[in-house]
Structure formats: C-alpha cells, structure tokens
Structure 1
C-alpha cells in the first residue's frame, strides 16, 4: 500500500469515527423524547440539536456514497429510523384543499409588536397588523401580545389574558365565532401561560388553546458558548426544561376536562423531537405533518427549527398548512385550514 493510500485509509477511519459519534448522538437524541426533562434535565439539550444532527449525518451519508464506501450504512440506518418512527424534519409533499366550511387558524408570536425595539426597523407593529388583516384568519392565537390602541384587531370576539394586572402583555385569542367560555391556566413563576376559548360553529362547540411554554432564552447571536458561561448556560437550560415539563403536566391535566373537538396553537419553545412535543401531540394530528411542506421553519435560527405548532384532535380534518416567511418577529407566522364537519 502506498503512502497516499495509507493516508486516505487513516483519514477515512478518522472520519468514520467522528461519523459514529454523531450517529450515536442522533440515535440517543431520538429516544430522549421518551424521557421527562425532570428526570435528567441536561439530556434534554440534545433534543434541541436533532435538526443539526440530522444535517450532519446526511452530509456524512452523501460523503460515503460519493466515495463508494460502505460506511454510509451507519448514518443511513440512523436516518431511516428517524424517518420511519419520529416526526419529519423535512416534508416533500403538501396537502392543499380549500372548502367554504374550512376554518383558517393562525398562530403567531409577535414579540410584542416591537414595542421594546428589538429591531431598528420602523413600523413593525403596523406591518404585523396589516399582514394579519391580509391573511384574514378566522381564529388568531397570538403569543407575546402587547395590548394598546395601536395593536387592536377588529374581531367580533376576543380574549386577552395579561400576565399580571400591571402588564399589558400576555396571550390573546381572536375569533369570528362566538366565544361562550374562556379561561387561563396561570402558570406559576413564569411570564408564560396557556389560555383557552370555547367557540360555537354550527352545531359544534370547539375548544381553542393558545399555549406558550417557558422560554429557554437561548440566543446564538448573543450567547457566549465559551468556558466562562457554559455552566451558567447549562443551568439556565436545565431550569427552563423543568419548568416546561411542569407546565406541560398542568396543561395535560386541564386538557382532560374537555372531551370535544379541539385545537392547540402555540409556541412550545421546543422542537418536534422533544419530550414536550411528544406529550402534547399524543393522540393528535400535527397540521405540518399532515399538510405542510419543506422544513416548516418557524423560528429565526441558523438552522431550520420548528417550535410553533397547530395540533388538532384525530377526528378533525386538516386541509392545508403554511409557514410564512415574513421577518417581522423572531418567529414566523403559521396558518392551517381546518375542517370540523
């Protein structure tokens, strides 16, 4: 064997070793969605990295295929497991049906309409309001809603739940259908919350939840991932995951009180590969999985992350799902056409 061949052989073995680490990490990350963050909260960090790990393993797969090496089998098997048994990262086909009896439901984290100037761009609040008017959803769930005379939307029925009497921000639900009941779960020790309304459409009474789980406050643009802040970062993530788990348990307990048709909208602050999502989506349809296409990226992150969801009961028909590309917040709005008949 020549020196060049030996060098290539060593490089391939080294790359395969690195490949093995990424493949094993992805496989472990898949199954961490079955483990509550309250058990080992630090492991839940891995669920946030699943989209990135899928990309890395796919890159290794392509590399070995091009090199005509059987090493591609490792990443291929791990990716196949994810494709067959876990929510899709990427959808190649979509569903696009429009019936007069459909209900258009939008979920949107508006980042308080830029009241605190997270961006220097002018007129963000007005642009968000105009975007919503143009899309004209029948039901609108807003997270991080800021209530003022400039952010009022003309819906016949609405429910706004500020986090405290001193604040003008919280969760809001707007509806073209009559609201006959409403309420708030009032998460403790958190600026986040869950609210609901019961609406009447024809002969049906439908419950709509607006859910905003604990933020992990993870910002790659501002975060220093160096040694000095690593312990502080991990500690904050652990506390955030535990709070999310507690909030999910409170929500699921409340959800059992409703036996009729329902929709759960919101910003889960976690991915479709997390324990949080697995618990909330159990025995439900995910509008993106049924009718969406591409990555469904709903958060402005450096790789595709889907943390905003529309879920329904299994009997409800989902006819369309779309993630919009408007960069008016750190989240992208999502909307689905849903049919209850």
Structure 2
C-alpha cells in the first residue's frame, strides 16, 4: 500500500470516528433534556437520561482519544460534558461530605426492604426480616422511612412486635399501598422518635393505590414534614434481570435479544408515564406545605429524570451536599444507579450521607444527618 493510499485510509477512519463522536455528543446533550421534557408526552429523552452514565463515559473516551492525537476535536466532547456539570454532580461526588457535629442533628434513614423476602440471596423470610430490623435498630436513626414493608395474615401483629423490639422507635405510622387489602400489610412505614401532629397519604386522583405517605413531626417546638415516597416501579421480573445479565456476558441470541429488549422498553415506558402522574401529586402537596420538608424514598428513577427534577425543585439533595462516590442504591442485576433519595428544605444542612452495602434487599439503605442551618 502506497503512502498516499495509507493516508487516505487513515483519513476515512478519522472522519468516521469524528462522525460517531458527533452522534454520541448529541445523544449526551439529549440526555440532559430528560430532566425537563415530560415523559408522558415525549419518552425518548427519558431513555437517554437512563443512558447518561454510559454516554458520559463514551464522550470522555472520545476526549482522551483526540487529546492523545493532539486534535482540537477534543473540544466537542469536553464542552458537552461541561454543559452537564449539574447532571454529573448528581451522579458522582468526588470529595467526601462534611462530618456531622455531635449535637443539633437528627439522623435519617430511607430503605426499600423488598417485602423482606429478598429472593436473590437464598435466606429464609424470617431471617431476612430479623436482619433488616436489626440493621435499622443499629443505625439509631431518629426517623426511618421504609418502603415495601410486608406482613401477612396472623403474622401481622408478631411482625410489628418484632420490629418494635429490634428498632426501639417510640412512634410509627403506616399505610397499605392498597387499602382494600385486609389479609396482609404491604405498606409504607415511617418510624420516628418524634410524635406526629398529622398524617396523610398520597395517591393519584381517582385511584385507590397509595404511593406515598407523610407525617408532620414535632421536635421540641419545631414542626417539619417528612414524606415517604415509593414512585411507580418498572416492574421488572426475574427473567428481565436474567436477560440484562446475559446481555452483559454476551450470551444472548438475536431473537432473544429483540424480545427481551422490547419487554424492558415497554415496562420502562409505562413506569415513566405513571411516575409523571405521581410527580404532579407530590409537587402540589409540597407547594401547599407550611413546614420545612424532608423527602425520603424510592423514586425508581435517576437524578436526571423528570420526576427527580420536579420533586427536588427548591429542595437540597443530601447526596450532592454530603455524599461520596457514585452513591448507587440499587443492588440488583442492573448497572449502578441511584434511585433512592433524601431531599430536604434549605433550612437543613446535610452531613455524612452513607449507603451501607448490605444485601438483604434489592436496594441499599441511605442514611444522612440533618441539622438546622
């Protein structure tokens, strides 16, 4: 091959890489729009938002490639990444959060306990339940928000007695997701060392299914509202997680890949639309609240989602202020994602956010200290 032919071939490859770079830069820009575009109207940006970590990594690799080659083309990916600085700090914190003062703070805990029957680790129901309650008690949080708390039939009273014995809370408030169920408890729970002046539920107008509860708690002469939310799940089944694992290992045939992808995309689309409706209810309730606010819960969505953006507006994200690392809270067979949050009014300051890596559920718990400014 002559020098001219070699240069021509190199030029074609370089132009192709540049074209691919442009495509991924545009996709990364599109992912930023997922926080602002209602997925009930246009869904494509919500999917791009889920892909943000991968799109970010790809653009960083393009930046390094052009940097090594000494090309000004590196500016494209660099600028696009910098435009998304706010998105980046909601996914990754490079510096550790501040240490909590010894006094004047209260500890918060939020934990989706997966009905206390984590099927992925082969431990009996009762052992998981005891492990979860023991962990919650060991954290000595002043307030704990629990999602997917479960107890069935005659077992109900015993489960609550075990919970009280192992967690040592003075007050607790719970509501069934489905209030029509009388033979079991499948509930959102708020455990607290502070009494409640009022409590209530959140549901989509016309629906009977609760997706959130709140309590107005009294600490000395101070009143604040704590929300415990569990926004609509994607409802992935075991076969969906198995499909994701097979894809990551390159063990999926073409037909199975097509069907598995369609199944997950349908469930994602349904989840986006349901959470959009729930978000409207949450935002309205927050806007009408006369007290400082703390929002805990499983959003089933990422920090670049429409739901997170709307609910967190005017609030502080304790991970951004006090977290470290990636802060991923989902322990199932999916790429690392942060879908469990503790948000709060600006009158509070957050310290020492932690995500203990205990595997008694498909979620990791989140803890943080909050103090008045």
Shared fold by TM > 0.5? yes
The answer on 1:96 being equivalent to 2:99 is yes
Q: Secondary structure at the match of 2:226?
A: strand
* 1:161 is the counterpart of 2:161: no
In structure 1, list runs of 5 or more residues that go unmatched. none
Q: In 2, distance between residues paired with 1:340 and 1:159?
A: 24
Q: CA deviation at 1:259?
A: 1.6
Task: Name the SS of the counterpart of 1:240 in structure 2.
Answer: helix
Q: Is 1:135 aligned to 2:167, yes or no? A: no
**Which residue does the alignment assign to 1:305?**
337
Measured in 1, the distance between the counterparts of 2:356 and 2:203 equals 30
CA deviation after TM superposition for structure 1 residue 251, in Å? 1.4
Q: Decide whether the 8 Å contact of 2:90 with 2:319 is kept in 1.
A: no
Shift of 1:306: 0.9
CA RMSD of aligned residues (A): 2.3
Aligned length: 340
CA–CA separation in structure 1 for the residues paired with 2:173 and 2:185: 13
- Kindly indicate whether residue 124 of structure 2 is the aligned counterpart of residue 107 of structure 1: no
Question: CA deviation digits over 1:80-126, x for unaligned, max 9?
Answer: 011157653211112222231201001011111116x3431343222
What is the match of residue 335 of structure 1?
367
Aligned to 2:276: 245
Distance (whole Å) between structure 1 residues aligned to residue 211 and residue 28 of structure 2: 31
2:348 match: 316
Match of 1:55 in 2: 57
* Alignment partner of 1:286 is 2:314: no
Q: Which residue of 1 aligns with 2:85?
A: 83
TM superposition shift of 1:232: 4.2
**For the residues of structure 1 that align with 2:128 and 2:69, how far apart are their CA atoms?**
49
Q: Identify which range, 301-310 or 230-239, moves more after superposition.
A: 230-239
| Aligned residue runs from structure 1 range 1-341, under 5 A | 1=3, 3-84=5-86, 87-93=89-95, 94-114=97-117, 117-122=119-124, 123-147=127-151, 148=156, 149-150=158-159, 152-153=163-164, 154-163=168-177, 164=179, 165-166=181-182, 167-187=184-204, 193-218=211-236, 221-223=241-243, 226-300=257-331, 302-340=334-372
| Structure with greater helix percent | 2
Unaligned runs of 5+ in 2: 245-255
CA-CA distance at 1:191 after TM superposition = 5.8
> Once the 2 structures are TM-superposed, how far is the Cα of residue 141 of structure 1 from its aligned partner?
0.4
How much does 1:241 deviate?
Answer: 1.1
Q: How far apart, in 2, do the equivalents of 1:189 and 1:62 lie?
A: 51
Q: Is the 8 A contact 1:192 1:214 kept in 2?
A: no
Q: 1:30 to 1:142 in 2, by over 3 A?
A: same
Deviation at 1:316, TM superposition (A): 1.5
The question of whether the paired residues in 2 share the 8 Å contact of 1:64 and 1:70 is answered with: yes
Contact kept, 8 Å, 1:51 with 1:303, in 2: the verdict is no
Determine the C-alpha separation between the residues in 2 that align with 1:3 and 1:136.
Answer: 71
Q: 1:237 to 1:336 in 2, by over 3 A?
A: same
DSSP-derived class of the 2:91 partner: coil
- Describe the superposition over 1:245-284 as per-residue Cα deviations: whole angstroms up to 9, x where unpaired: 1101011112222121110000111111111111001011
- Structure 1 window deviating more from structure 2 (81-90 vs 178-187): it is 81-90
Once residues 312 and 320 of structure 1 are traced to their aligned partners in structure 2, the CA distance between those partners, rounded to angstroms, is 14
Structure 2 vs 1, CA of residues 3 and 125 (structure 1 numbering), >3 Å: closer, same or farther? farther
298-307 or 23-32, which deviates more: 298-307
Q: Offset of 1:235 from its aligned partner? A: 3.1
Contact 1:215–1:269 (Cα < 8 Å) also in 2: yes
TM-score by length of 2: 0.84
- TM-score, normalised on structure 1? 0.91
